[in-house]
């Protein structure tokens, strides 16, 4: 797989219109105020990309977007990072960059940007301790996570994000349609993964974030990646693939294939899995809870005696991160709202034997959900 790089392809849309980011920053300030925070400080990572479209990295020199609950936002960044910020929306939405050079009082600049008397300050999950500890010391307070504010923003996808997820879904569907032609007895998982990576890039992904090709017993490991195992006739193969499509929204789709003939009992269990996945999709609507979607899939498998073979949650949110909120798992009573996007991916696993998983990304609509993945869901013949 290619080396990680959060920057979109130069030939693809870099970011959304500036008005989208201006609205996000304003809503972040309002939510911070509603949460009783004096402001939030966001360092490089998905939250910063979400708020201002900035694709920069975290180093020992701090870069941060400071959003006070009252007052104007600002970015504090080392002068050597100005070029990396040039393609963000900062200038267009009127957020000033307060640049600094080595030796300047960087944490003091952040304190100043927060305003006088900042008593409660939230920081993004991605802020390293290298910066959170000295910033907290400088403020003289215990920093808090801004997770609640940023989660509320990012969980509900706007129209631009939904369209980006549709493009990502179509791109990964195009790859899955080609997989049966590559899965042949005598080839290795690694060879199949190389074909998949090339196809993902050709379909519009900026990189392959992950590629799982789990053949035979390797399919019983939900997080197996690839190996030099040679695929054999009769193998059931789990192919779970995804990655970002500019401006950075991720695909994630799993299908289960068989090379040659399949054992009848295995085929029956995979058909039950398909029914479980469909039951969970059918249960998605505004007002349902995350845990009820998990239960919809789990109940179908339990009724068929397969409860113990389903060893993980039913799904996870997706967007600028492959895994983000909401999480579709038992115990999560979060009420689903229109615009939430997440995976539905029940699986069954038999260590030493085989495994299977079926996954779609769905978006909650006014009266149900829309799946962005539309290739065949049942056991697919290959080889």
- Which residues, other chains included, contact 265 with Cβ-Cβ below 8 Å and sequence gap of 6+? none
Dihedral sign, CA of 273, 243, 230, 309? negative
State the chain's mean pLDDT as an integer.
95
CA 194/CA 171 separation, integer angstroms: 17
96-106 pLDDT, tens digit each? 999 999 999 99
Residue 5 has pLDDT above 90, yes or no: no
SS (H, E, C) 104-155: CCHHHHHHHHHCCCCCCEEECCCCCHHHHHHHHHHHCCCCEECHHHHHHHHH
Which whole-number Å values give the CA distances from 44 to 12, 25, 50, 80, 132, in the listed order?
Answer: 21, 15, 10, 15, 13
Joined tokens for residue 176: 């899955």
Q: What is the pTM of this model?
A: 0.92
Q: What does the pLDDT read at residue 6?
A: 42
Q: What does the pLDDT read at residue 171?
A: 98
Span 139-150, average pLDDT = 96
Please determine, looking at this structure, whether the domain spanning 18-154 carries the CATH number 3.40.350.10.
yes
40-96 pLDDT, tens digit each? 999 999 999 999 999 888 889 999 999 999 999 999 999 999 998 988 999 999 999
Q: What does the pLDDT read at residue 3?
A: 35
243-286 pLDDT, tens digit each? 999 999 999 999 999 999 999 999 999 999 999 999 999 999 99
Preceding omega of 313 cis (within 30 degrees of 0): no
Domain ranges in the chain with CATH number 3.40.350.10: 18-154
Fold type of domain 156-382: Creatine Amidinohydrolase (3.90.230)
Per-residue buried b or exposed e for 324-350, using 16+ beta carbons within 10 Å of the residue's own CB: bbbbbbeebebebeebbbbbbbbbbbb
Q: Per DSSP, what are the bridge partners of residue 369? A: 364
Domain ranges in the chain with CATH number 3.90.230.10: 156-382
Q: What does the pLDDT read at residue 84?
A: 87
């Amino acid at each position: 797989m290619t080396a990680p790089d959060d920057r979109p392809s130069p030939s693809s849309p870099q970011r959304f219109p500036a008005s989208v980011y201006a609205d996000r920053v304003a809503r972040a300030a309002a939510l911070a105020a509603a949460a009783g925070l004096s402001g939030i400080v966001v360092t490089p990572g998905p939250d910063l990309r979400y708020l201002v479209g900035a694709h920069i990295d975290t180093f020992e020199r701090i870069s941060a977007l400071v959003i006070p609950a009252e007052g104007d936002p600002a970015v504090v960044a080392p002068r050597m990072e100005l070029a990396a910020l040039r393609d963000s929306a900062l200038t267009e939405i009127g957020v000033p960059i307060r640049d600094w050079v080595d030796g300047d009082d960087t944490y003091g600049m952040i304190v100043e940007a927060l305003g006088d008397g900042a008593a409660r300050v939230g920081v993004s999950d991605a802020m390293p301790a290298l910066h959170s500890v000295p910033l907290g010391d400088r403020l003289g307070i215990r920093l808090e996570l801004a997770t609640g504010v940023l989660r509320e923003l990012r969980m509900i996808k706007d129209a631009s994000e939904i369209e980006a997820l549709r493009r990502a879904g179509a791109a990964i569907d195009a790859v899955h349609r080609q997989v049966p032609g590559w899965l042949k007895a005598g080839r290795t998982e690694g060879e199949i993964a190389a074909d998949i990576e090339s196809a993902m890039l050709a379909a519009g992904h900026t990189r392959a974030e992950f590629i799982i090709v789990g053949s035979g017993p390797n399919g019983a490991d939900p997080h197996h990646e690839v190996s030099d195992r040679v695929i054999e006739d009769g193998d059931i193969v789990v192919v779970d693939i995804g990655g970002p499509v500019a401006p950075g929204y991720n695909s994630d789709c799993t299908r289960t294939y068989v090379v040659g003939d399949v054992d009848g009992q295995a085929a029956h269990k995979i058909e039950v899995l398909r029914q479980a996945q469909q039951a969970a999709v059918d249960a998605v609507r505004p007002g349902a809870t995350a845990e009820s979607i998990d239960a919809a899939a789990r109940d179908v498998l339990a009724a068929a005696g397969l409860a113990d073979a389903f060893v993980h949650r039913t799904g996870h949110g997706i967007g600028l991160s492959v895994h983000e909120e909401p999480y579709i798992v038992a115990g999560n009573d979060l009420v689903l709202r229109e615009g939430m996007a997440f995976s539905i991916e029940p699986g069954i696993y038999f260590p030493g034997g085989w495994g299977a998983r079926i996954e779609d990304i769905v978006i909650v609509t006014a009266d149900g959900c829309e799946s962005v993945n539309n290739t065949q869901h049942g056991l697919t013949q290959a080889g």
